[in-house]
């Protein structure tokens, strides 16, 4: 099983930097050869990558403000059951992405709209507390990052065992 772990988020924006930080930390670890890790911060680049490379599964990681308790980790399968916005909303999201806005929902929506997502898409969101410019994380989000890395490592091991059943 070929798998991509993609981080989506800003760098140097405190708790909104979860995606890039998880990617950096995962790149320093030894992962199975069938698991790739990359930044998917730029909407068009994410679309291009997924349209050119075929994966059996992708995991997208990022911070999303949804009103949960800070540091909450929410994991869900993204798929055909999620409604797509109308064409005008998609156009607006593309324009925002081209102008540099980084948004996990926009990556999912655009890539689904253009049918470049694999059948298996796991999304891992972390609720931010501090969305201001600067480095570092609030304590609940730093703890959540460690949890997210653990989840991704479990998924990587599972993907590796699907490649090598006797591993």
What is the fold, at CATH topology level, of the domain defined by 3-163? Rossmann fold (3.40.50)
Which pair of tokens denotes residue 23? 């990617």
pTM of the complete model beyond 0.95:
no
Cα separation, 7 vs 18, whole angstroms: 8
Cα separation, 127 vs 110, whole angstroms: 22
pLDDT digits (tens, 9 = 90+) for 50-106: 999 999 999 999 999 999 999 999 999 998 778 899 999 999 999 999 898 999 999
Cβ atoms 142, 15 nearer than 8 A: no
How many Cα neighbours within 13 Å face the side chain of 64? 18
DSSP 71: T
């Amino acid at each position: 099983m070929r798998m991509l772990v993609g981080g989506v988020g800003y760098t140097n924006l405190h708790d909104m930097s979860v995606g890039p930080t998880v990617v950096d930390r995962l790149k320093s670890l030894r992962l199975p050869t069938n698991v790739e890790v990359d930044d998917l911060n730029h909407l068009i680049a994410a679309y291009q990558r997924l349209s050119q490379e075929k994966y059996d599964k992708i995991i997208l990681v990022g911070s999303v403000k949804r009103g949960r308790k800070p540091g909450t980790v929410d994991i869900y399968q993204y798929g055909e059951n999620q409604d797509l916005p109308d064409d005008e909303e998609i156009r607006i999201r593309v324009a925002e992405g081209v102008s540099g806005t980084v948004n996990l929902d926009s990556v999912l929506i655009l890539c689904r709209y253009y049918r470049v997502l694999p059948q298996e898409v796991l999304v891992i969101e972390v609720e931010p507390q501090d969305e201001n410019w600067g480095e570092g994380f609030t304590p609940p989000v730093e703890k959540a990052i460690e949890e997210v890395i653990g989840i991704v490592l479990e998924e990587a091991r599972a993907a590796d065992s699907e490649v090598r059943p006797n591993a």
